[in-house]
Chains A and B, each alone.
Chain A
Amino acid sequence: MQDGSNRRTRAIGLFLFAVYCSAYTGFMATAAFGTFRGGVADGGLTRPAVDGVNLAVVYGMALILGAFALAVLYAFLARGGDE
């Protein structure tokens, strides 16, 4: 039973890791390849996102707060394996 719980916990962890990796990769790719053309800001992270605050700030904040949200979700889903 313990091995089964460990496997389930690990699978949940790896799935959430893949979700976060996708978001982080999207941020890096947008910053590196989608925001500046010829050194001039154009689209990408420069776009306004929330109340005039640009996507760079909102995406960055979302990556920080989203990490905590995923961590709490993981702790909740994995609690069965501790019993």
Chain B
Amino acid sequence: MIYQTELLPFAVFLAFVGLVLGISVHLARRAKSAGGYFAAHGQVGWFVNGIAFAGDYLSAASFLGICGMIAFFGYDGFLYSIGYLAGWIVALFVIAEPIKRLGRYTLADALNAKFQSRGVKLVAAIATLVISLFYLVPQMVGAGALVKPLLGLPHWAGVVMVGVAVTVIVATAGMVSTTWVQFVKGSLLVAVCGLTVALILGRGLRTPDTAIPAGHMQWIERGPGGTVVNGAPLAIDNQLDSRLRAEHGVGFGSVATLPGGATESGPLGPIGYLETFSQSTITTWRKSESRAADGTVRTEFTPVERKGSDLLLPGASPTFKGVRADGLAPKLDFLSLMLALFLGTASLPHILIRYYTVKDAAAARKSTVVGIGAIGIFYVLTLYLGIGAMTSGALDPMDSNMAAPLLARTFGQSLFAVISAVAFTTVLGTVSGLILAGAGAVAHDLLRDVFRVELNDGEQVRAAKIASVALGAGAIVLGIVFEKMNVTFLVGWAFNVAASANLPSLVMLLFWRRTTREGIIAAMSVGLVSSLAWILLSADTLEKVYGYSATDAAELTIVPFSQPAIVTVPLGFVVLVVVSLLSRQRPIPAAT
């Protein structure tokens, strides 16, 4: 699709980014010391910290990826909402309070609190860096997706803009500015999504002016000679949805029939909306791709009418197709991803470091409850946002990540402007947290504690700022390389790695008094390496990253399913127990 720059969205975007950068510069003076830079002096109020949790957590994957997945495949995107929120239960009931008591600035601090081991610090710092980079990729891809319709700029420009803005935020004021940026972003995101859902319910569901016939086809060819859409060169007035709009008054994604043959439902309540949707038939689009000898790729889209009730069941997307398959391996793939989402949240370094910004364990608990409230509201809204996009007639069939902003545009340029700017701020907030976690791992854990570089307080902060710039540059490169991948899919990887590398050690350190430093080092190393290796050798990666066909990928892969957590998390626990029992270290008292 070609997107044109509009003045209002551009102005609102600039205002939001200006606000965020202004906050950072204003707060910079509060982050001169390591305590201020890494943990905001532990003085953030529990309510602000709770909303900042939402700001940290509700990333581009949640907002753009989940809405896009629901818009394209129905219920499957909502499975991510369920899993992401459920993960906070582990954080609240198992991890939050003990981790606050044990740690200082980083995950490695907590894991190493009883051992004073360079080995534990080294492995924990490496795990933090790897997980943060995995999580950074989808955020940067989301940034690129956002600037296309907002500013009419190419993907890479959005990635570079986010990279530069985030580096400024983190390099100026660390956790102090990051916290307030996330507080602003978390509040705005929930509020704007709530408003959008109110508009979706108010508009209800409606059918197009004329029905789209079954044999209808739209196609696009991209090759050395340029891009051709439906036989003519791609242009503002000849895009993928141009003919569809001219003939039927609606773009991609629409209601085919409503219950009782109605043409529109009128305003609906939250339950009535879902009930009406499940009794309707929806026009979805099947995509098929072929490649010619000269490298030209032809993509065809044909309409497929599906019952709303079927779209409200799991298993329609490639990611969760295992739910509907008969064999055990596909079902284990589904269960493994849901397990990773459940266990991954409490293992994410950028979430864990937020427990050090409040004053005590009680504040950690209260802020988690506030975070669960704000995040829970948002995830309930995602189902309506996704269905709203699916039936809005405004989907870009080539890019699922664009579903939410394009849905907002159907309600006018103002909402589109605000929602795109909030989404962009969303990316800024999450990326800030990730880069800060990575910078802490480099400056505080690796340089100071592992390599024993003599750093005073100010030098530690300076080292962290330099590390942030390097991480920001790395994130920009990865964001450009992974442009075409659905951001939610990528986040699933980060959760698998986080759960496999960190969770066994965190849990056993807190609950098993015979845990030894050798056990922790071994469990983290095995969890990290095994989950990474599993992902990189999986059929999904072979197909979506290395470019193999689905058939070749299935033949080449050496792992039975693509999501590793169901194997690699238990493996981490087993390794920790065995190595702890074998290592001759005196037992340590269990954490209280």
Contacts and interface: CB of A to CB of B under 8 A. Distances in A.
B92 A71 contact: yes
A24 to B, nearest CB: 5
B314 A56 contact: yes
B458 interface: no
B180 interface: no
Contact of B380 (A9, A36, A61, A72): A61
Interface in B317-344: 322-326, 331, 334-335, 338, 342
B380 A64 contact: yes
B58 to A, nearest CB: 13
Contact of B279 (A33, A46, A52): A52
Contact of B313 (A14, A21, A35, A51): A35
A57 to B, nearest CB: 6
Contact of A72 (B271, B274, B369): B369
A73 B202 CA distance: 34
Contacts of B331: 32-33
B72 interface: no
B75 A57 contact: yes
A82 B82 CA distance: 31
Contact of A28 (B310, B335, B368): B335
B592 A31 contact: no
A52 B279 CA distance: 9
Contact of B81 (A3, A39, A53, A60): A60
A3 to B, nearest CB: 6
B51 to A, nearest CB: 14
Nearest to B382: A64
Contact of A38 (B92, B322, B326, B373): B326
A51 B271 contact: yes
A67 B86 contact: yes
A57 B312 contact: yes
A82 B363 CA distance: 9
A1 interface: no
Contact of B93 (A13, A33, A54, A65): A13
Contacts of B310: 41
A60 B369 contact: no
Contacts of B312: 53-54, 56-57
Interface in A22-55: 24, 27-28, 31-33, 35-36, 38-39, 41, 45-46, 50-54
Contacts of A52: 275, 278-279
A24 B93 contact: no
A30 to B, nearest CB: 10
A58 to B, nearest CB: 9
A33 B368 CA distance: 33
Find the residue from B89, B92, B323, B373 having the highest chain A CB count within 10 A.
Answer: B89
Interface in B363-393: 365-366, 368-369, 372-373, 376, 379-380, 383
B189 to A, nearest CB: 16
Find the residue from A27, A31, A51, A56 having the highest chain B CB count within 10 A.
Answer: A31
A28 B278 CA distance: 22
B303 interface: no
B458 to A, nearest CB: 35
B461 to A, nearest CB: 32
A41 B89 contact: no
A36 B278 contact: no
B573 interface: no
B278 A53 contact: yes
B323 A32 contact: yes
Contact of B82 (A54, A60, A75): A60
B2 interface: no
Given A28-B338, A75-B365, A20 B94 contact: no
B424 interface: no
B205 to A, nearest CB: 14
B93 A16 contact: yes
Contacts of A41: 310, 313
A75 B324 CA distance: 39
A60 B313 contact: no
Nearest to A6: B592
Contact of B369 (A14, A50, A54, A71): A71
Interface string B545-579: 00000000000000000000000000000000000
Given A27-B82, A50-B271, A53-B274, A17 B380 contact: no
B592 A3 contact: yes
Contacts of B93: 13-14, 16-17, 20, 74
27 contacts: A7-B592, A13-B97, A14-B93, A21-B89, A28-B338, A32-B322, A32-B323, A32-B334, A35-B323, A36-B315, A36-B324, A38-B326, A52-B275, A53-B271, A53-B312, A54-B312, A56-B312, A56-B313, A56-B314, A57-B75, A57-B383, A61-B383, A64-B82, A65-B380, A71-B368, A71-B369, A74-B92
